[in-house]
Amino acid sequence: MDASAATPRVALITGGASGIGRATAERLLRDGLRVFLVDIDRAGLDRAIAELNAGAAAEAVASGAVADVRSVRDCESAVRAALGWGGRLDVLVNCAGVWVEGPSDTMTEADWDRVVDVNLKGTFFMCRHAIPPLEASGGCIVNVSSDAGLWGNKGAAIYCASKGGVTVLSKALAVELAGRGIRVNAVCPGDVDSPMIEYQAHTFGGGDPDAYKRDLLAAYPQGPKTRFIRPDEVAELIAYLASERATPITGAAVSIDFGLTAGY
Ligand SMILES: NC(=O)c1ccc[n+]([C@@H]2O[C@H](COP(=O)([O-])OP(=O)(O)OC[C@H]3O[C@@H](n4cnc5c(N)ncnc54)[C@H](O)[C@@H]3O)[C@@H](O)[C@H]2O)c1
């Protein structure tokens, strides 16, 4: 593997076809990295890669692979594919995620397996397979947790369990990998204006998605001035944590939530 300074830096972003992952790809390109997107959604992935390469000069700046992060084998082959394409790996951003909500006494084993396997197991096994190339490059990991990884969301126990896991997993990896030169941080966004929020509002909004969204915003301390966070705002934080400017920062769970989890 060539991790020399002459080879452009490479970021692997799971969930890169949509929302925060897609915005992160765009933002990291502006920092001069090449991006390798991993997603289960083939059509979305192809579209994102084509759009990201549209403005590029001769050589592609974006590539990717279809993978299901619930599969350990897919995680391993996604890292291998990124290395095969880019020759090195400098940044891993784990953004792939899914939501479920509802009273806990209605939840099924399938709900638990899907959400915990995508959000937590997938994050761990992407990290696990990325450790050797990240050690070679002196790279870093940013895991996308949530406000739900810091406190309880009523009616979303499984999602909270998965994201609480991501937050503390990131801290545990940070202390484990510090001696090998790898930083690991988590970002904890509040409600972000992405396809996930639309899915939540339409699936769990009882037929009134606008009311569902109003209820979410009512929890914020800004009152009527509240709005959802934009994916590019989360991407900005991820890009900062992935940059050399953030060299002293590891093991952090950084909130970007308009103060939602600060108190009430
Ligand atoms: N939207 C929010 O309000 C919000 C708030 C806090 C945290 N988050 C977290 O941010 C991350 C990104 O979410 P988003 O809002 O951009 O949602 P999104 O739905 O726009 O993007 C999620 C992406 O993950 C991909 N994905 C889902 N399952 C996968 C699997 N098994 N393997 C590979 N890819 C898979 C989807 O295809 C999609 O492209 C998630 O981890 C989410 O939990 C979102």
b/e per residue 91-104 (b: at least 16 CB within 10 A): bbbbbbbbbbbeee
Between vectors from CA 191 to CA 186 and to CA 192, what angle results, nearest 5°? 85
CATH among 3.40.50.10740, 3.40.50.1360, 1.10.10.10, 3.40.50.720 for 10-190+230-255: 3.40.50.720
Nearest CA to ligand 1 atom 31: 68
Output the CA 196–ligand 1 centroid distance in Å.
6
Residue of 24, 41, 42 whose CA lies nearest to 33: 24
Dihedrals phi, psi of 184, to nearest 5 degrees: -135, 125
CA distance 137 to 158: 35
Q: What's the whole-model pTM score?
A: 0.97
Alpha carbons 161 and 253: distance in angstroms, whole number: 16
Give residue limits of the domains in the chain.
10-190+230-255, 193-228
The residue type of 92 is L
CA-CA distance, 1 to 106, in Å (whole number)? Answer: 49
- The one-character DSSP state at 156 is -
How far apart (Å, rounded) are the C-alpha atoms in residues 38 and 81? Answer: 10
Residue 57 is encoded by which pair of tokens? Answer: 């000069």
47, 95, 166, best to mutate for ligand 1 pocket (most atoms within 8 Å of CB):
95
Find the farthest-apart pair of alpha carbons in the chain and give their distance in angstroms, rounded. Answer: 56
Task: Take atom 8 of ligand 1 and give the residue whose Cα is closest.
Answer: 146
What is the per-residue pLDDT for 80? 98
- The catalytic position among 159, 199, 220, 264 is 159
Which residues, in sequence order, are CB contacts of 163 under 8 Å at separation 6+?
119, 145, 146, 148, 149, 188
Strands (E), 56-126: 62-66, 91-94
Q: Are 221 and 264 in contact (CB under 8 A)?
A: yes
Q: Say yes or no: CB of residue 115 within 6 Å of ligand 1.
A: no
Query: Active site includes 264?
Result: no
Q: How far is CA 90 from the centre of its chain?
A: 16
The mean pLDDT values, 10 residues at a time, for the chain of 264 residues are 69 98 97 97 98 82 98 98 98 98 98 98 99 98 98 97 98 98 99 96 96 95 93 98 98 98 92
